[in-house]
Homo-oligomer: A and B are copies of this chain.
Amino acid sequence: MIDYVLFVCFRLTLEANVFRLVIGWNMTERGECMLADERRFRITEMLSRQRTVSASELKDIFNVTAATVRRDLAHLERKGLLVRSHGGAVSKLPSTNFQPSYDAMGRENPAEKQAIATEAAKLILDGDTIFLEGSTTVSEIVPLLQHHKRLTVVTNSPLILVELRRHPEIKVMCTGGELQRDVFYLSGIWAQRTIGEIRVDKAFLGVSAIDPEYGLSTASHDEAAVKKILIKSAKMRIALVDHSKFGRQGFAFVAPANELTTLITDSGTPPADLKTLRDLGVHVIVAGQD
């Protein structure tokens, strides 16, 4: 009898307890009345360790309905902390170094990104000095530089550096800095200083979050600092933003949208956002349209 009780106890508590241990709870702390914010905080805490969470697990842990879990995840998705997927969510926290995040998951919307990069490449003239910032969209520009003459390219992305080895006529410079490996991006004091010392004709910015009113923002403070200086160092500031980045606000503010000279996006972007940007004086190019 006692064995059976123990067994049932074991089964019942096992699942939930794993998570409680993982996220640092102990048994007594869980009250019946948990605030929504508290719950959401716990979710982000889990995601900083786990990469994914499943909706049904969360339902059991917090003793709420699936609807509430969905609302929580939707909320956190709007804040840019995770991406929802069927059955749960995937972490988007910058601090989480789950290995091939750049290699693999940065490959979303390849067609849109390529279309955007094609428009961007059209803006580059022979003899230009340009800055290519580390970002999956921006790096798509590199293969399109075949036929440009006398180009100077400055970059803070090791990947772009490696890609550029195929273009012997291009003069290539690297900013240096500390490697943020989740995004494959050099930042920090060295990057800031070198960028501050130069003046480029065109800077191609990767952007992870844009809200036409709030402006550009990003998940990392370091990255924001680099972008700020880059914006000051460039005559033309061209942002490459696919539609999934719109309406988002990241942790660190970069600049108001009107500091951009040009913004290139794809046809999936809400027309209202495009209009707001144009009213701010930004030259908006929509790739994949005539």
Contacts and interface: CB of A to CB of B under 8 A. Distances in A.
A279 interface: no
A10 B33 contact: no
Given A179-B161, A186-B174, A48 B104 contact: yes
Given A18-B20, A190-B176, A27 B41 contact: no
A65 interface: no
B50 A86 contact: no
A186 to B, nearest CB: 6
A168 B194 contact: no
For A57, A100, A108, the residue with the greatest tally of chain B CB atoms inside 10 Å of its CB is A100
A102 B93 CA distance: 10
Nearest to A28: B52
Interface of A: 2, 5-6, 8-10, 12-22, 26-28, 33, 35-38, 41, 44-45, 48, 50-52, 54, 56-57, 79-81, 85-88, 90, 93-95, 97-100, 102-105, 107-108, 110, 158-159, 161-162, 164-166, 168, 171-179, 181, 184, 186, 188, 190-191, 194
